[in-house]
């Protein structure tokens, strides 16, 4: 009977300690992600985006466009004029194909309402 209690307490201790260890790793992962994302946010503030002539029309409303400066947007600009048929996805975003592949520069970023993102 005493052995059963000792084993139960030991197993409970292991479970509790492993739970605490997992929480610390999760916090460390979150901190790492925050550190990676922070320079990108500072970069966009330090280097203002250059606006270029383009009309984005959604349901007959003209929406202003600010381009990122990279190979993906340069390739997309060469495809203009372009019409993309969009479909709802996930209840909060729209997706559509541009009909061909263009270069991608995969980076971690934080999107905001109205952002247009290339998924490769």
pLDDT value at residue 35? 37
Q: What is the mean pLDDT of each run of 10 residues along the chain (120 residues)?
A: 54 48 42 37 43 73 86 89 89 89 86 81
pTM over 0.85: no
* Cα separation, 77 vs 73, whole angstroms: 6
The CA distance from 67 to 73, in Å, is 7
3-state class (DSSP) for residue 41: helix
What pLDDT score does 88 carry? Answer: 92
State the pairing for strand pair 61-63/87-89.
unpaired
The residue extents of the domains of the chain are 53-119
Confidence at residue 101, expressed as pLDDT on a 0 to 100 scale: 92
pLDDT at 7: 56
């Amino acid at each position: 009977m005493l052995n059963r209690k000792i084993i139960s307490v030991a197993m409970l201790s292991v479970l509790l300690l492993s739970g605490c260890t997992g929480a610390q790793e999760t916090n460390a992962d979150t901190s790492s992600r925050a550190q990676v994302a922070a320079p990108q946010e500072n970069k966009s503030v330090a280097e203002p985006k250059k606006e270029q002539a383009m009309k984005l029309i959604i349901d007959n409303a003209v929406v202003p466009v600010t381009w990122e400066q990279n190979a993906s947007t340069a390739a997309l600009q060469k495809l203009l004029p372009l019409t993309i048929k969009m479909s709802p996805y996930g209840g909060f975003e729209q997706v559509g194909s541009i009909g061909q592949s263009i270069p991608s520069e995969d980076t971690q970023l934080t999107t905001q309402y109205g952002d247009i993102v290339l998924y490769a």
